[in-house]
Amino acid sequence: MRNYIIKYLLQFIPVLLIISFVVFVLIYLSGDPVALLISDNATPQQIEELRESLGLNEPFYVQYGIYLMNMIQGDFGTSYVYQEDALSIVLDRLPATILLGSVSMIFAILLSVPLGILSAIKRNSYIDLFISGFSVAGKAIPNFWQGIMLILVFSIILGMFPVSGDGSWKHLILPAITLGSSAAAEITRLIRSSMLDVLNQDYVRTAKSKGVPGHFVIFRHAFRNCLIPVITIMAAQISGIVGGAVITETVFAWPGMGQLLVKAISVRDMAVVQAVVFVSAFAILLMNFLADITYRLTDPRIKY
């Protein structure tokens, strides 16, 4: 496993390089940043001096090389809005996004596992039909609309939870439900299909014929053996949660990286945009790596 871990971590390098190049090209094509950093009354000489000090008068490949060297050192530039180091600003917002994403994933797992198992056991029943309908609705309903409806019902009408912001556990409930419901719907569908496949296997029928208790057959034999695809889709849903956090944090004014990214894009604070994208990409790669390690812990037959 040690060799596998080393090889996997080395794969981070080309992936992050590709991401850095794509982000740099998009920012390079987005316009002249000097126009945002200097006053309207600046003289052409002052504009040219600023451009030269930032290295913007260099060819594209030279600018990318400078950007890459700075990125390796953890320097994504200074935010002209906050007048602080861009990476420090992003890392300050990172714990809030991790908290929201973690609670959202826990909610998705706690909801999807029992629903997926129940749907498979009650195949073609009204319960199965209801759960399948929930899964379809969970994937079809946009996050922003669901968030607004939750605010309308539970915050404005019922007054159970705050409308937006942070500060207590109540502020976390509605955004976590909004962000986790889509993942819950996808995981529920996969657990149902995986369980149906496993329940038709010979070893499950043999266990039933021997008089093994039903709950033992379901959780010990069936559910455990359908965990590999479930873990895979859970890892895939992490990227969806990271992407969905941009909308959810904006709707609920949650002070995480998603809200920061929207604000940075609206004012073209490109240093912050670069830092947010890089940190998000690294987090997704790390979670996929942990999912691969979990495969081995779940099923010892898997070899690296």
Each residue's pLDDT tens digit, 133-145:
888 888 888 888 8
Say if residues 83 and 156 touch (Cβ distance below 8 Å). no
pLDDT confidence of residue 73: 83
Q: What is the mean pLDDT of residues 49-70?
A: 77
Higher pLDDT pick, 238 / 106? 106
pLDDT over 60 at 304, yes or no = no
Q: What is the dihedral of CA 189, 230, 14, 73, to 10 degrees?
A: 100
User: What backbone phi and psi angles, to 5 degrees, belong to 78?
Assistant: -110, 135
pLDDT in the model for residue 271: 82
Alpha carbon distance 304, 296 (integer Å) = 8
Give per-residue pLDDT as tens, 19-37: 888 888 877 776 666 666 6
Q: How far apart are CA 287 and CA 242, in angstroms?
A: 11
Tokens 């379809």 belong to 136
Instruction: Label residue 262 by pLDDT band (50, 70, 90).
Output: confident
